[in-house]
Chain A
Amino acid sequence: MFLQTLQNFMNEAGLSLVAGVPLLLAAGCWARCLRKWSFRLLPLAALPALLAVLLVSPGLEIQVKWFFMGGTMGIDASARIFLGVSACAWLFAALAAGEKFRDDPHRHRFAGYFLASMGGNFGLILARDILDFYLFFALMSFSAYGLIIHNRTAAAAKAGRVYLVLVFLSELAMFTALVLLSARGEVPLAGAIPGADLSPLLIILLFMAFGVKVGALPFQSWMALSYQQAPVPGATALAGAMVNAGIIGWLRFFPFGHVVLPGGGVFFIVMGAAAALYGVFFGLYQDKPGRVLASSSISQMGLVTLIAGYGLLSEDAGMSALPLMTLFAVHHSLAKTSLFLGYDLVDRGGRPADAILAAGLLVPCLSLAGLPLTSGAMIKGALKELAHLGGDAWYVFGAVFLPLSSVGTTILMLHCIGLLRKRSRAGPRGKTTVIAWLWVLSIAGVVLVPWMWQPLREMAGYSLRARTVVQSLWPVGLGAVLAWLWLNAGGRLPGRGRPSADFDDLVRWVHVRFLYMLTLVTDFLDRLRDKIVREPFRQRGFRRFIRSRGPARLERMLGRWPVVFLFYLLLSVVLFMMMLTAAYQKSEVG
């Protein structure tokens, strides 16, 4: 009995600490007297999450009564994986940030936003009910704004603005979706959506809500801007951990394997495929490492969208898409964290030997491209199997499309390595022991995790068969050759480098349109009012009444005693009559 209570208490405390410690430390950054300590403890903030992954028993679910409408938190299988990989990414990012900002005068501001986003990210992974999820998601999204604008340059401000607008859009979409869902009495996060009747509107809303986070196609513009403008540790967290929030959202809201949404599936597949290709082309035009890495994220997340789409096509496919999306998130997070740490090292003037730098960057790059023996190859193998389940036409799509995306990713990643090497040679030298070790550690993670980890190891066997090896090798080879040719040719694509879409123009345009529409509507109402109010009343008494048009006059009229009396009388008589009729009807029935 006692042990039971103790264990309950430990579980509750453990889970609360996962999000609680970062949030408390974030609060500490705000208070002047605690700042120093909070900043020192920054690298440790992700530890409770790691410990929770290792220690808390799986399938745990607890009520946290003190929180926002009495929330529920819990760890299920996928939450555990997400928590693990996010915690690792946050840990790396936090260590890098602690090192980088040690002497920055604004370090507390950065740490505050950083920790708040971290708390939000952990919280949304653990949240098991609708409001908590929404709240943590909002907390994370809005705190990340602080990370992006940290440098306070004009470019950073613009990136932040774009990000904020899209986040508002996503919040709005999610809020609407949540209202619609809970109006039907369904609690999506408990995994109990009888999902068959997800309407197209809901699918689009959910796509928007989480699509912004993963940079799905119409909402991708923030990624390139923010990854480039945020301080690199912040970008590491954005790319390694916060991106996954979008995937979690989809996993939570679409009950894969219990629902078949052919229309929604095709929509997701098309959007995903388009994003995968768009990312590659967009990236090849960029000449800043942050932007290239962001476009690789757009492209990779396009693949996740694709998987989600396949998962919605049939129940079997849903069953196998569910783990695959999780694994893909892990694979992408590991690789991106490592790449960003490498970028960080270069950015701070680590100037490692050229060969070491190239070799170290190649590992995660080729893992993303899907070279045999890496997690990328394992996942692409599984993805092909998944495409089988979708029927013949989809198989062809998968068979043609996947190698194509591999080729593209290879070229893009080699382009990125080229940029980083150029930058490494040009930049000044700095002191970077810690970050170098972190980088090495993360590369080791990219190599070893797939082999240490049961679910990926199962796929590894499949990916090592001769046919699959060839299948996954030739796109990478082809990509490498193409990239070599392209880089030798000067590394230029036709056209004068697509300027990054100027979001401000778009916003201004929309705003002007909106105002115009508004004036149209009000003009119309104005004319309508003239028609309605003027025509019927031509008598003298009413003439005076009409002169008092406009809200001001009407309001003044409402203020006259006789008018008030009229309403007073009218209301009491109407109420009286209503109740009387109801009473009579009741007595007649009785």
Chain B
Amino acid sequence: MTTILYSVTGLLLFVFGLFALIVCPHPLRKILGGNVMSAGIFLFLVAASYRADTGEIDAVPQAMVLTGIVVSVCITAVALVLSTRLQQAADQGARRRRKRRREEDAGE
């Protein structure tokens, strides 16, 4: 019963994350959406590691979850760096435009 609950919650999290990734325009929200997706999958995996027939815990999904978390952290880091850079570039562009406008105003 608990495993089903975990599985369903995991899948729901995946779908929520997917929704956020698709719909939210802001990069940070997209990245968080991706994180929620992976969290959902990991939950699903954890649920899969319980074997109902023998009552034992399968080690393989746990190894997968550990690896997956590492990968997910990496991707989040790269995405965050990229979005920061993007923000900086946008700021710079805006500053330059403002400056130019000011110069033009002064010129007039």
Which A residues contact B (CB, under 8 angstroms)? 561-562, 564-565
Residues on A with C-beta less than 8 A from B18 are 565
A565 to B23, CA, bound (A): 9
Residues on B with C-beta less than 8 A from A561 are 21-23
Interface centre among B18, B21, B22, B23 (most CB of A within 10 A): B22
Chain B contributes a number of interface residues (CB within 8 A of A) equal to 4
List the 8 closest pairs (A to B, CB-CB), nearest first: A565-B22, A561-B22, A562-B22, A562-B23, A561-B23, A564-B22, A565-B18, A561-B21
Contacts A561-B21, A561-B23 known; list 5 others, CB within 8 Å: A561-B22, A562-B22, A564-B22, A565-B18, A565-B22
- Residues of chain B in range 17-33 having any CB-CB distance to chain A below 8 Å: 18, 21-23
A206 to B45, CA, bound (A): 63
Closest to B24 in A: A561
Residues on A with C-beta less than 8 A from B22 are 561-562, 564-565
Residues on B with C-beta less than 8 A from A562 are 22-23
8 contacts between A and B (CB under 8 A): A561-B21, A561-B22, A561-B23, A562-B22, A562-B23, A564-B22, A565-B18, A565-B22
Which B residues contact A (CB, under 8 angstroms)? 18, 21-23
Chain A: minimal CB distance from B43 (Å)? 21
Closest to A560 in B: B22
Closest to B19 in A: A565
Closest to A563 in B: B22
Closest to A562 in B: B22
Closest to B21 in A: A561
Chain A: minimal CB distance from B24 (Å)? 9
A473 to B83, CA, bound (A): 95
Chain A: minimal CB distance from B16 (Å)? 14
Residues on A with C-beta less than 8 A from B23 are 561-562
Chain B: minimal CB distance from A433 (Å)? 80
Chain B: minimal CB distance from A567 (Å)? 11
Residues on B with C-beta less than 8 A from A564 are 22
Closest to A566 in B: B22
Residues on A with C-beta less than 8 A from B21 are 561
A561 to B18, CA, bound (A): 11
Closest to B25 in A: A561
Chain A: minimal CB distance from B34 (Å)? 13
Chain A: minimal CB distance from B15 (Å)? 11
A565 to B18, CA, bound (A): 9
A565 to B17, CA, bound (A): 13
A561 to B33, CA, bound (A): 14
Chain B: minimal CB distance from A568 (Å)? 8
Residues on B with C-beta less than 8 A from A565 are 18, 22
A561 to B27, CA, bound (A): 12
Chain B: minimal CB distance from A571 (Å)? 14
Closest to B18 in A: A565
A561 to B25, CA, bound (A): 9
Interface centre among A561, A562, A564 (most CB of B within 10 A): A561
Chain B: minimal CB distance from A566 (Å)? 9
A157 to B23, CA, bound (A): 62
Chain B: minimal CB distance from A375 (Å)? 81
Chain B: minimal CB distance from A207 (Å)? 59
Chain A: minimal CB distance from B102 (Å)? 33
A564 to B21, CA, bound (A): 11
Chain B: minimal CB distance from A27 (Å)? 50
A564 to B30, CA, bound (A): 15
A563 to B11, CA, bound (A): 22
Closest to B22 in A: A565
A564 to B18, CA, bound (A): 12
Chain A: minimal CB distance from B2 (Å)? 27
A562 to B18, CA, bound (A): 11
A561 to B21, CA, bound (A): 9
Chain B: minimal CB distance from A135 (Å)? 49
Chain A: minimal CB distance from B62 (Å)? 28
A547 to B88, CA, bound (A): 34
Closest to A565 in B: B22
A561 to B30, CA, bound (A): 11
Chain A: minimal CB distance from B27 (Å)? 12
A564 to B23, CA, bound (A): 11
A572 to B23, CA, bound (A): 19
Chain A: minimal CB distance from B83 (Å)? 15
Chain B: minimal CB distance from A552 (Å)? 22
Chain A: minimal CB distance from B28 (Å)? 15
A562 to B21, CA, bound (A): 10
Chain A: minimal CB distance from B68 (Å)? 21
A561 to B23, CA, bound (A): 7
Chain A: minimal CB distance from B26 (Å)? 12
A564 to B22, CA, bound (A): 8
A493 to B18, CA, bound (A): 86
Chain A: minimal CB distance from B72 (Å)? 20
A169 to B23, CA, bound (A): 54
A565 to B21, CA, bound (A): 10
Chain A: minimal CB distance from B49 (Å)? 25
